[in-house]
Amino acid sequence: AQSVTQLGSHVSVSEGALVLLRCNYSSSVPPYLFWYVQYPNQGLQLLLKYTTGATLVKGINGFEAEFKKSETSFHLTKPSAHMSDAAEYFCAVSALSGGYNKLIFGAGTRLAVHP
């Protein structure tokens, strides 16, 4: 069965610093992986996804993630944090179940950005 583990429920960085949010997955088949962001009192917005092809995936708002099969990881990075990046971030894996694909979410990482 597929699962996702996000290391660190809270991450705090300074504005302009590197953002690194960690995600490890478990999957018996080639995984499809996703990062979503949730701003306060809002729904989820897709940042990026990996399905096939290039293992370095670029997303919106300057975020990118690299699929590393050998490490079963899909960490999210951004070179320079902005105050507006403060939000909850969820890593997810697509799991085939009952003939359809569904998303399995990690516990989430709350990113704080301070001046």
User: Can you tell me the distance from the alpha carbon of 73 to that of 4, in angstroms, rounded to the nearest whole number?
Assistant: 9
Stretch of 16-24, 43-51, 60-68, 77-85 contacting other proteins, by CB under 8 A: 43-51
User: Can you tell me the distance from the alpha carbon of 85 to that of 71, in angstroms, rounded to the nearest whole number?
Assistant: 26
Among 16, 60, 101, 114, binds other proteins (CB under 8 A): 101
Among 21, 57, 106, 111, binds other proteins (CB under 8 A): 106
User: Can you tell me the distance from the alpha carbon of 108 to that of 11, in angstroms, rounded to the nearest whole number?
Assistant: 11
**Contact criterion met (CB below 8 Å) for 50 and 74:** yes
Quick one: 14 or 42, whose CB is closer to other proteins? 42
Among 74, 94, 111, 113, binds other proteins (CB under 8 A): 94
Q: Checking phi first, is residue 26 left (phi over 0); if not, alpha (psi -120 to 50) or beta?
A: beta
Query: Using CB under 8 A as the criterion, which residues of the chain lie in contact with other proteins when the complex forms?
Result: 32, 34, 36, 41-46, 49, 51, 90, 94, 98, 100-108
